[in-house]
Chain A
Amino acid sequence: MANEASTHGHHSATKRIWTVFVILSVITLVEVILGIIKPKILIETTFIYLHLLNWIFIVLTIVKAYYITWAFMHMEQEAKGLRRSVVWTVVFLIAYLVFILLTEGDYIYEVYNNGYVTWDF
């Protein structure tokens, strides 16, 4: 996949750009439609602390992020070292940050809810 676009010449490069545009548009459309109708089954099913619908949104977002980074930012054509130093740094640090902050947020929610102090007076 790496150098396909540059070796196949101008035509296939622009074709790939439009393909990716269609993919991104379709994903966005699906997100918006799901966001508006909010299917009941997806909201009622909870999977690892979140509604299934929210997981679908998050996964679709990551797919979009992949296409933007790989195709539009030409990450697929960069050297492996550069790719990893950027992507792995971001992915692991964000995963860590999100994990600790959301865990802490949930803990504070419990304190507000079950503590001896009333917050609504």
Chain B
Amino acid sequence: MEATVVRTGTEGKTWGGGSKSPLKASYGKMMMWYFITSDALTFSAFLAAYGFSRFKFEDSWPIADEVFSHFPFLHGVDAPMYYVALMTFILIFSSVTMVLAVDAGHHMKKGKVTLYMFLTIIGGMIFVGSQAWEWKNFIQGEYGAVETRGGNIIQFVDKEGERVALSDIAKVLPQERVEHESKNGLWFVEDDSSLPTYSLEEIKKGFQESDYLVRTQKLNKDGAKTILSRAESLAVINNQTVRVVEGANLTRNEYGRPLFADFFFFITGFHGFHVFSGVIINIIIFINVILGTYERRRSYEMVEKVGLYWHFVDLVWVFVFTFFYLV
């Protein structure tokens, strides 16, 4: 072994790799930083891809304020972004309790580390739960829409420009609707798993008898969606519509571009997965703190390392919040 070591005559210097570590950090902490670096690049690739798709459909992208307008226990109240803002606060606050835990660890205060770690875990769990609720609302949809032959989504508004739900439009017709089952031929075709609440015919009929208008995805100069005149609306409804869309999935969504839903699921899902794994890792470290592992080790550096990961999750959310909900 001794023979293979090359002597460069610079052992005393930093770059000689002698006794000093040039980055003055422990191996574990340094590698956590580099893991975070690579993970940050993954997330930025997702967000940059989102930017790419958004620039591609710049004049017809869904408006986030209109999509995410729910707040718990406030049904029917238009609350754009309040809930996401609350989620952001929860995550920032759990970051604060995490850094307080790290700080208490520096001073070898086991009780305080335990308390702050506990609060951090609770904050993380609330956040993941909130995200699940946000997903539920997004998947369920609110007003419903109709897809045209060209793959565009059209929505409905009344004369004042207020959104109208499909249930307000549809005229229930006495017709029998049969769900396609694989035993009736074409077993390999997996169409939408369940029938929408209303058939296209019912929507068409109801729309013709009402005075509602069609809202397209195109953004006008003020950054709002274009509303067609009654004559144009009727032409679109009668000649171009192909199916009713309710809620969102990976292939189509009632809010507009399918890519919007894809990126929503992918980016917030990947972030939510990070929060989830962060909570799991925090719990493991929390148990170790209670067992006194770090007290015996005379160092709480593990808390610091897991703290780095937790702050990173918060850091990513700050960017997701900006680019998905604000910009």
* Interface residues, chain A, with chain B CB atoms under 8 Å away: 6, 10, 13-14, 17-18, 21, 24-25, 28-29, 31-32, 35-36, 43, 54, 57-58, 60-61, 64-65, 68-69, 71-74, 78-79, 81-82, 85-86, 89-90, 93-94, 97-98, 101-102, 104-106, 108-109, 112, 119-121
Contacts and interface: CB of A to CB of B under 8 A. Distances in A.
Given A82-B23, A109-B58, 5 more contacts: A24-B92, A32-B82, A72-B99, A101-B48, A105-B52
A31 B56 contact: no
B172 interface: no
Contacts of B321: 31, 61
A17 B315 contact: no
Given A72-B99, A106-B55, A90 B81 contact: no
B107 interface: yes
B322 A28 contact: no
30 contacts: A6-B106, A10-B107, A13-B106, A17-B99, A21-B93, A25-B92, A28-B88, A28-B89, A36-B65, A36-B80, A58-B327, A65-B315, A65-B318, A68-B314, A73-B315, A78-B23, A79-B23, A79-B24, A81-B23, A82-B23, A82-B33, A90-B40, A90-B41, A98-B44, A98-B51, A102-B51, A105-B55, A109-B59, A112-B56, A120-B148
Contacts of A94: 40-41, 44, 48
A106 to B, nearest CB: 5
- The 5 A-B residue pairs with the shortest CB-CB distance, nearest first, are A105-B55, A105-B52, A79-B24, A82-B23, A120-B150
B81 A32 contact: yes
Contacts of A72: 95-96, 98-99, 311, 314
A14 B107 CA distance: 12
B30 A82 contact: yes
A101 B51 contact: yes
B318 A68 contact: yes
Contacts of B133: none
Nearest to A105: B55
Contact of B25 (A13, A65, A82): A82
Interface in B276-327: 304, 307-308, 311-312, 314-315, 318-319, 321-322, 325-327
B150 to A, nearest CB: 4
Interface string B22-40: 1111000010011011001
B55 A65 contact: no
B71 to A, nearest CB: 13
B115 interface: no
B319 A61 contact: yes
Contacts of A14: 100, 103
A64 B318 contact: yes
Contact of A109 (B25, B57, B307, B322): B57
B81 to A, nearest CB: 6
Contacts of B132: none
Nearest to A56: B326
Contacts of A82: 23-25, 30, 33
B215 to A, nearest CB: 15
Contacts of B314: 68, 72
Nearest to A94: B44
Contacts of B40: 90, 94
Contact of B51 (A81, A90, A105, A120): A105
Given A21-B92, A106-B55, A35 B22 contact: no
A97 to B, nearest CB: 5
